[in-house]
Structure 1
Amino acid sequence: MTTSEAIFPQDRHALYEAHGYSAAIRSGDLLFVSGQVGSREDGTPEPDFAKQVRLAFDNLEATLDAAGCTFSDIVDVTTFHTDPENQFGTIMAVKNQIFGKPPYPNWTAVGVNWLAGFDFEIKVIARIPGRA
């Protein structure tokens, strides 16, 4: 039977405790990462949209790193956007820096009308290297 283990980045932000969830769950050789937002350490949103997207990816990277993963271990991505049509160019610029060459992960983008004060959220599933 596979057991689950909660994973948190070293410098975790306040949202995990405030809302009672784990940054990620390790189950076997898979890592299920909760939605990461562009939050500052105190849990407040970064007001500049481009910086908020970058910070969401930075928070994601810290969570992946805590589990021994990198962006190249990601197999599935879901992103949430409050204004996809106007935000997509900014998001794609960051995405293209991180996932610059194939193979690209699966990706689903979802337009939403509320993200608790944030405008972008990213959640992923990654395969943990060297685990069976």
Structure 2
Amino acid sequence: MAQRDVVFPSGRQALYERNRYSPAIRSNGFLFVSGQVGSREDGSPEPDLEAQARLAFDNLNAVLAAAGCTFADVVDVTLFVVDPESRLDTLMKVLPDYWGEAPYPTLTGVGVTWLSGFAFEIKVVAMLPEPDQP
């Protein structure tokens, strides 16, 4: 089995190791990013929904940056939302601040019943930048 090419954002490796998963894996020109939530440095949820969503995007952007990517490289997004009927308007208000300009990535939204104390999680697949050609 090939060694996984793991990407860790600065300052959060202990949190990922404690929870026994990788924040992102590089494979065949893509970056597969684990679901990111609006967790504070200690891993606890940010209580305010809008602030939690912004923090989830900030955490996502830190993982992307650690791999040399930005949200512009994202091709596929999956959003997980607890009680989407009451929360979707707030979340959709936050998206444009991070989404960038069209063309947008693909999007799948999933309503869930539990996210370990969080209301929102975002999982993405991004294209890795092509290495500089000699």
Q: Same fold (TM over 0.5)?
A: yes
Change (3 A) 1:4 1:28: farther
Task: State percent identity of aligned pairs.
Answer: 59
Change (3 A) 1:13 1:3: closer
Kept in 1: contact 2:77–2:107 (CA 8 A)? yes
* C-alpha distance in structure 2 between counterparts of 1:82 and 1:7, whole Å: 27
AA paired with 2:115? L
1:38 aligns to 2:38 (yes or no): yes
Change (3 A) 1:31 1:91: same
Question: 2:129: which partner in 1?
Answer: 129
Kept in 2: contact 1:39–1:52 (CA 8 A)? yes
Question: 1:23: which partner in 2?
Answer: 23
1:113 aligns to 2:102 (yes or no): no
TM-score, normalised on structure 2?
A: 0.91
Question: 1:90: which partner in 2?
Answer: 90
* C-alpha distance in structure 1 between counterparts of 2:101 and 2:80, whole Å: 23
Unaligned runs of 5+ in 1: none
Question: 1:59: which partner in 2?
Answer: 59
Question: 1:50: which partner in 2?
Answer: 50
Kept in 2: contact 1:14–1:43 (CA 8 A)? no
Change (3 A) 1:111 1:15: farther
Deviating 4+ runs (over 4 angstroms): none
1:72 aligns to 2:72 (yes or no): yes
* C-alpha distance in structure 1 between counterparts of 2:19 and 2:78, whole Å: 20
Superimposed CA distance per residue, residues 107-132 of structure 1 (whole angstroms, 9 cap, x where no aligned partner): 00000000011110000000011149
* C-alpha distance in structure 1 between counterparts of 2:14 and 2:79, whole Å: 21
AA paired with 2:12? R
Kept in 1: contact 2:72–2:100 (CA 8 A)? no
Question: 1:81: which partner in 2?
Answer: 81
How well do the aligned residues superpose, as a CA RMSD in angstroms?
1.9
TM-score, normalised on structure 1?
A: 0.93
* C-alpha distance in structure 2 between counterparts of 1:18 and 1:2, whole Å: 23
